[in-house]
C-alpha cells in the first residue's frame, strides 16, 4: 500500500506554497502534473543527478513542451556563467513567461535554478525537487536564490519563493553517506536552536536516521520543514528571527574559509561550529556542561566533527568572522544557546568567553 505523502504549508500570503514529502513522488505523474501545471517545463539539473532521476520527470511531462539543462556537478558551477546555457536553452525553445522551471538536485542546483527563475523574463515560476538531505530540510524552502562571485559566496541573488517543493525520499538512497551526514548537521541545528522535543526525538532515533530508515527520514524532513516554514513565515527577508538559522554558521564559515572551500563540507564545518557555540554558551554560564555534552554527543553520533581543526588559530577565526553578514556597526553578533532548544542572536556576551573558545579551537 502506498503511504499518503506528508504536506507542510509555507504561509506567505499570495506567495504561499506546499512542501510535499513522500517516497516515490517522482514516479507519481499525476502529483507532479498537479503541482507543475505549466505547458512549458524546463528542468535544471547536474551530471550526477540527471542520469539517476531526469527520465522520471521527462515521462511525467511527456505531452508537454519539455527541455532540460544539465550542469557539471559542484559548488564551483554556482556562478553567473553557468546560468547562460540555461537561458539559452529556454530562449531557443521559445519558453514564455508562463513556463515553469524545475530545480532537480541539491542546494547548488536549487539556488542557481531559482535565480534563473527570478530573472528569466523578469521572473517565472519554479518548483524545487530537492535531492539531498540538506536541500530537503534547508535550501529548497525559504526563497533564497543566487550564485557565488569569486569574491564571496552567495553574493549575487534574489528572494524568489518556489511554487512548490516536492521531496521524494527515495532519492536519498543514492546520496553519498558524507552528504547525508552534512545534511544531518542542519537537522540537528533545528533541534538545538528551537525545538527541544525534536532534540529528544533525535537522541532516540539518530542511529535509525543514519541508517536511512524511511519512517525516521520522513519524520525528520517534515519536522525540519515545519520549523523552517515557521521561521520564514515570521521573517521572510531575514530582518530578525531568521538569523537564528545561522546557529554554528559564524564559526563554521570561518572554518570553511580558513580551510579553503571544498575541503570540509558546509555541514561538517557548521557541526564543529555548533559545538563551539555550545562550548561558548557553557563558558557564559547559559547552558550547563551536561547540556553542552548532550549537544556534542548527538553531533558526534551523526558522524560529524565536533571540533575545529587545530591549526586555524584565534586570529584567523576573527579575520573570517569579521566578514559575517549578521554583524552591525563592527559588533560581532553570534547565535548562542540560552538553553538547549532556545537560541538567541546577540552581541551581548562576555568577550573573554569568545576569546577562550577561539583560542582552544573549540576543545
Ligand atoms: P550539492 O547541491 O553540491 O549536492 C551535494 C552532492 O550530492 C553533489 O555532488 C550532488 O551532485 C550530489 N547529489 C545530489 N543529490 C544526489 C542524489 N540523490 N544521489 C546522489 N548524489 C546526489 O550540495 P548541497 O549540500 O545539497 O547544497 C549546498 C548548497 O546549498 C550551497 O551552495 C549552499 O550555499 C546552498 N544553500 C542554500 C540555502 C538557501 O536557503 N538557499 C541554504 C543552505 C544551503
Ligand atoms: Mg547552512
pLDDT in tens, 272-315: 999 999 999 999 999 999 999 999 999 999 999 999 998 899 99
Q: Give ligand 1 pocket residues (Cβ under 6 A).
A: 46, 48-49, 52, 73, 75, 78, 105-109, 111, 131-132, 134-135, 138-139, 142, 144, 154, 171, 174-175, 179, 182
pTM of the model: 0.96
What are the per-10-residue average pLDDT scores of the chain (363 residues)?
Answer: 85 97 96 94 98 95 91 96 98 97 98 98 98 98 95 92 98 98 98 98 98 97 97 91 94 90 89 98 98 98 96 91 82 95 96 94 63
Clarify whether residues 92 and 114 are in a common domain: yes
With beta carbons less than 8 A apart as the criterion, state whether 184 and 210 touch: yes
Clarify whether residues 337 and 277 are in a common domain: yes
Q: Is 238 an active-site residue?
A: yes
Clarify whether residues 136 and 196 are in a common domain: no
Q: Ligand 1: which of 46, 106, 117, 166 to mutate, most ligand atoms within 8 Å of CB?
A: 106
Q: Residue 139 domain-assigned?
A: yes
Q: Is 122 an active-site residue?
A: yes
DSSP E strands, 26-163 = 40-46, 65-71, 100-105, 125-130, 144-149, 152-159
Q: Ligand 1: which of 74, 179, 247, 248 to mutate, most ligand atoms within 8 Å of CB?
A: 179
Cell for 162?
518556489
Clarify whether residues 22 and 33 are in a common domain: yes
Q: Is 144 an active-site residue?
A: yes
| Count of Cβ atoms closer than 10 Å to residue 298 Cβ | 20
ipTM above 0.95, yes or no: yes
CATH number, domain containing residue 166: 3.40.50.1970
Neighbouring residues of 309: CB distance < 8 A, sequence distance ≥ 6: 255, 258, 259, 361
Which domain covers residue 220, as residue numbers?
177-360
Clarify whether residues 107 and 55 are in a common domain: yes
Amino acid at each position: 500500500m502506498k503511504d499518503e505523502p506528508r504536506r507542510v504549508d509555507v504561509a506567505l500570503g499570495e506567495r504561499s506554497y506546499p512542501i510535499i514529502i513522500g517516497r516515490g513522488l517522482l514516479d507519481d505523474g499525476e502529483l507532479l502534473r498537479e503541482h507543475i501545471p505549466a505547458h512549458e517545463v524546463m528542468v535544471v539539473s547536474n551530471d550526477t543527478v540527471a542520469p539517476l532521476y531526469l527520465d522520471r520527470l521527462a515521462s511525467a511531462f511527456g505531452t508537454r513542451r519539455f527541455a532540460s539543462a544539465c550542469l557539471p556537478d559542484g559548488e564551483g558551477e554556482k556562478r553567473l556563467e553557468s546560468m547562460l546555457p540555461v537561458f539559452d536553452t529556454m530562449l531557443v525553445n521559445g519558453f514564455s513567461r508562463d513556463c515553469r522551471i524545475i530545480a532537480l538536485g541539491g542546494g547548488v542546483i536549487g539556488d542557481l535554478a531559482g535565480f534563473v527563475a527570478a530573472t528569466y523574463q523578469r521572473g517565472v515560476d519554479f518548483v524545487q525537487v530537492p535531492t539531498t538531505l540538506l536541500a530537503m530540510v534547508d535550501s529548497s524552502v525559504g526563497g533564497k536564490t543566487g550564485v557565488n562571485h569569486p569574491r564571496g559566496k552567495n553574493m549575487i541573488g534574489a528572494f524568489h519563493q518556489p511554487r512548490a517543493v516536492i521531496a521524494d525520499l527515495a532519492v536519498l538512497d543514492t546520496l553519498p553517506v558524507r552528504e547525508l551526514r552534512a545534511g544531518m548537521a542542519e537537522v540537528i541545528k533545528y533541534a538545538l536552536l528551537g525545538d527541544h522535543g525534536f532534540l529528544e526525538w533525535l537522541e532516540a532515533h539518530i542511529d535509525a536516521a543514519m541508517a536511512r530508515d524511511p519512517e525516521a527520514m520522513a519524520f525528520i524532513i517534515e519536522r525540519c520543514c515545519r520549523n523552517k516554514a515557521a521561521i520564514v513565515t515570521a521573517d521572510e527577508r531575514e530582518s530578525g528571527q531568521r538569523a537564528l538559522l545561522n546557529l554554528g554558521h559564524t564559526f563554521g564559515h570561518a572554518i570553511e574559509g580558513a580551510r579553503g572551500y571544498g575541503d570540509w563540507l558546509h555541514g561538517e564545518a557548521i557541526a564543529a561550529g555548533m559545538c563551539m557555540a555550545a562550548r561558548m554558551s557553557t563558558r557564559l554560564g547559559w547552558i550547563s556542561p551536561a547540556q553542552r555534552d548532550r549537544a556534542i554527543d548527538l553531533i558526534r553520533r551523526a558522524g560529524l566533527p565536533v571540533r575545529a581543526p587545530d591549526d586555524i588559530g584565534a586570529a584567523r577565526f576573527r579575520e573570517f568572522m569579521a566578514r559575517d553578514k549578521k554583524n552591525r556597526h563592527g559588533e560581532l553578533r553570534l547565535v548562542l544557546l540560552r538553553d538547549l532548544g532556545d537560541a538567541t542572536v546577540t552581541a551581548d556576551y562576555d568577550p573573554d568567553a569568545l576569546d577562550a573558545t577561539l583560542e582552544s579551537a573549540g576543545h
